[in-house]
């Protein structure tokens, strides 16, 4: 947008889009976390006497990161609590990328 619109027009266009994004993304995040919690209970399995398997370790890390994102989103949506640290969108986006990579490594 910055290449074809003036800075003022680009800011207005971005805000017009963000109004809708703010309505949809928190609910989608809560659905993703809820289904992730359900799936965790279904696929984690029992821990062997030797300890957790590679799959269980990666799933645990993935679940922790997902719950952290979900907790952050829940606080923002329902309580209006903004994050104290990692205020930009870059960190949550990076965590989503890490979660996707962990999903791929779990079945490799």
Average pLDDT over residues 10-32: 87
Q: Which two tokens stand for residue 22?
A: 């703010």
Residue that has been written with the tokens 């799959």 in this structure: 55
How many of the other CB atoms lie within 10 Å of CB of 59? 21
DSSP state of 27: H
Q: Evaluate if residue 87 carries a pLDDT over 80.
A: no
Q: Evaluate if residue 34 carries a pLDDT over 70.
A: yes
Any idea which of 7-21, 26-40, 85-99 has the lowest mean pLDDT?
85-99
């Amino acid at each position: 947008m910055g290449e074809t619109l003036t800075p003022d027009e680009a800011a207005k266009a971005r805000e017009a889009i963000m109004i809708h994004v703010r309505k949809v993304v928190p609910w989608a995040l809560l659905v993703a976390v809820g289904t992730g919690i359900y799936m965790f209970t279904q696929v984690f399995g029992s821990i062997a006497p030797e300890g957790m398997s590679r799959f269980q370790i990666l799933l645990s890390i993935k679940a922790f990161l997902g719950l952290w994102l979900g907790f952050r989103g829940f606080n923002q949506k329902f309580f209006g609590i903004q994050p104290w640290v990692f205020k930009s969108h870059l960190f949550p986006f990076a965590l989503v990328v890490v979660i996707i990579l962990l999903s791929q490594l779990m079945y490799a």
